[in-house]
Amino acid sequence: MERYESDTEGDEQETPLLHRGHEDKVQRAPVCCSSRYGLALLSSYGFFVVYSLRVNLSVAMVDMLNNTHQSSANHSGSLCPAHANPPRPKHNHTASLYDWDSETQGWILGSFFYGYILTQIPGGYLAGRFGPKWLMGFGILGTVVFTLLTPVAADLGASYLIAVRVLEGIGEGVTFPAMYTMWAAWAPPLERSRLLTISYIGAQMGTVISLPLSGEICFYLDWTYVFYVFGAVGLVWFVLWAFLVFDSPNTHPRISERERLYITTSLKNELSTSANYIPWQAIVTSRPLWAIVVAHFSYNWTFYTLLTLLPTYMNDILGFSIQQNGILSALPYMGCAVLAVLSGQVADYLRETCQYPTVTVRKSFSVVGMIGPAVFLVAAGYTGCNYTLAVTFLTISSSLGGVSASGFNINHLDIAPSYAGILLGITNTFATIPGMVGPVIARALTTHNTIEEWQTVFYIAAAINLFGALVYTVFGRGSVQPWAVQSSYSHGD
């Protein structure tokens, strides 16, 4: 029997999300040693590289500056008193130091996103046109190369470092749209939450591992090795990606026939039969898409503010050393990674076993993943110098944000799987703006590094998060939109 999902709260006619009967007729392919889960793991490694290269500068920056070097050694520059720690080896400082003011730091940290925003929509289009494998591969490879050039650029001057970071952003900008295009061809609808959360947990793990490891590298070697080590890890990924990944099940030479049939049959009612036609007018006027845009923008404001400035907050306010800083800054993202994977399992269980409508699951997970972080982020601003409570609240805030991974974050594949890469490019374009302006605004508001100034930063982020959750709850949808399933004889918007 065919079953249909619809959004009962929507006033427009919806297209079936999935003819589940077709999936039942084809025996499900095992998870163990499958090509689709192999792709999930290797793409997870790719996003590990992407985020390692994105955030390592946040920790290295603390050690690249003359003024913060002194305060990180004796904590005389931090607002809170020094921590009692056992004696540590003498900090090695053989690399260059720079006299950049807080405004320059803000521009350096935010410059990545000026390149990142340029290739979001082109990335989605190019992935659909020429295939996502090499687009993603060369995009990350380019980022790796410019990462390895970072120490040279920093020595030449702040403007050169900003230029290199912009170029890194251009390379990374294609990765998420390309991967969404890949998953549109690889992810069976009822495994979508699981596969995508495994894939994108790499981003969280990149943050979790690179923050403390960058701190250790800065402490025992110097900040230049941060970029050399993670650049080398990226080169290894590119080799694996080039030889092991393929654009679709039909082009994979080693996939089992059972798995190929399972994937293609489960997707045959969702994918457009006119791949070269893109209904731009319907896309840009789609309310469900704009609901995702607002939610994505709002969530990223909090995410990017913490991603780029948490090490600074740990150093300037809480007085943690460069070594402690990386470890403690990673805790929030460790919690986020764990809840992201758990939420993927729960979301697919609710949809498949409990038969909850997709729209209900997406909205519920989005509300928890956006309002929860807002509450605990504001609370963190009122912990004063209670180090334990501050780190606990910041960790809970980011951890709850991981729940949204099964909310609005993968809703593109629900409403328009054929154009998921393009939709992700559009939403991520707007969602990149917080990365561009958030750190600059936050540093402008915290020139004196007082707790009151940081409270203002946290309030702004929380308010934007609440607004995004409200808009998505009202306008979000969970089913394939009519314009997203085009027949060869119907090309209207």
User: In this predicted model, what pLDDT tens digit does every residue of 343-355 receive, in sequence order?
Assistant: 988 998 898 888 8
Q: Which residue has the higher pLDDT, 70 or 305?
A: 305
Q: Cα separation of 394 and 330, whole Å?
A: 10
Tens digit of each residue's pLDDT (9 = 90 or more) over 241-260: 999 999 999 999 989 988 99
Contact 112, 161 (CB under 8 A): no
Amino acid letter, residue 38: G
Q: Which residue has the higher pLDDT, 384 or 199?
A: 199
What is the reported pLDDT for 240?
96
CB of 103 closer than 8 Å to CB of 444: yes
CA distance 146 to 393: 35
pLDDT tens, residue by residue, 292-341: 999 999 999 988 877 777 777 777 788 776 667 667 777 888 888 889 88
Handedness of CA 47, 297, 215, 164 (dihedral sign): positive
Task: Inform me whether the pLDDT recorded for 485 exceeds 70.
Answer: yes
Q: Which of 345, 362, 132 is nearest to 247 (CA)?
A: 132
Decide if 464 contacts 298 (C-beta within 8 A): yes
- Average pLDDT rounded to a whole number, residues 433-453: 84
Written out in words, the top-level CATH class of the domain with range 32-67+100-268 is mainly alpha
pTM, two decimals, is 0.75
- Per-residue pLDDT for 76 more than 50? no
Produce one character per residue of 100-121: b if its CB has 16 or more CB atoms within 10 Å, e if not.
bebebbbbbbbbbbbbbbbbbb
The pLDDT of residue 326: 67
| Model pLDDT, residue 13 | 38
Rounded to the nearest 5 degrees, what angle is found at the Cα of 366, between the Cα atoms of 116 and 183? 55
* Of 26 and 37, more confident: 37
- For residue 46, name the pLDDT band (cuts at 50, 70, 90): very high
| CATH topology agreement for domains 32-67+100-268 and 279-486 | yes
According to the model, what pLDDT value does residue 313 have?
79
pLDDT score, position 24: 45
Q: Determine the pLDDT at residue 12.
A: 40
Residue 19 confidence (pLDDT) above 80: no
Using CA of residue 411, residue 413, residue 414, residue 419, what is the dihedral sign?
positive
- pLDDT tens profile 358-411: 899 999 999 999 999 999 999 988 988 888 888 889 889 989 998 998 899 889
Per-residue model confidence (pLDDT) at position 87: 47
Both tokens of 329, joined, read 């800054």
Dihedral Cα 383, 385, 388, 390, nearest 10 deg: 40
**What is residue 70's predicted lDDT score, i.e. its pLDDT?**
42
- pLDDT score at 375: 93
Q: What is the pLDDT of residue 491?
A: 34
Give the model's pLDDT for residue 438: 82
Write down the residue that tokens 């703006």 correspond to: 433
Question: What pairs with residue 98 in β-bridges?
Answer: 65
One of 2.60.40.1180, 2.40.100.20, 1.20.1250.20, 2.60.40.1080 is the CATH number of 279-486, namely 1.20.1250.20
Q: What is the mean pLDDT of residues 434-444?
A: 82
Quick check: 477 pLDDT over 70?
yes
Q: Is the pLDDT of residue 5 over 60?
A: no
Give Cβ neighbours of residue 467 (< 8 Å, ≥ 6 apart).
294, 298
The residue among 229 and 269 whose pLDDT is bigger is 229
The pLDDT-based confidence of 75 (bands split at 50, 70, 90) is: very low
pLDDT of residue 65: 83
49 half-sphere exposure, CB direction, 13 A CA radius: 33
- What is the pLDDT, as a whole number, of residue 320? 75
Contacts of residue 113, defined as CB under 8 A and 6 or more positions apart, other chains included, come to 169, 304, 432, 433, 435, 436
Of 55, 79, 87, nearest to 390 by C-alpha is 79
Amino acid of residue 181: T
User: Cα torsion at 147, 108, 51, 313 (round to 10°)?
Assistant: 130
Q: What's residue 26's pLDDT?
A: 55
pLDDT at residue 2, rounded to an integer: 34
Domains of the chain, by residue range, sit at 32-67+100-268, 279-486
Mean pLDDT, rounded, of the chain = 83
- The two three-digit tokens of residue 366, written as one number: 């989005």
Lowest mean pLDDT among 7-21, 148-162, 421-435, 457-471: 7-21
Quick one: average pLDDT of 191-196?
A: 87
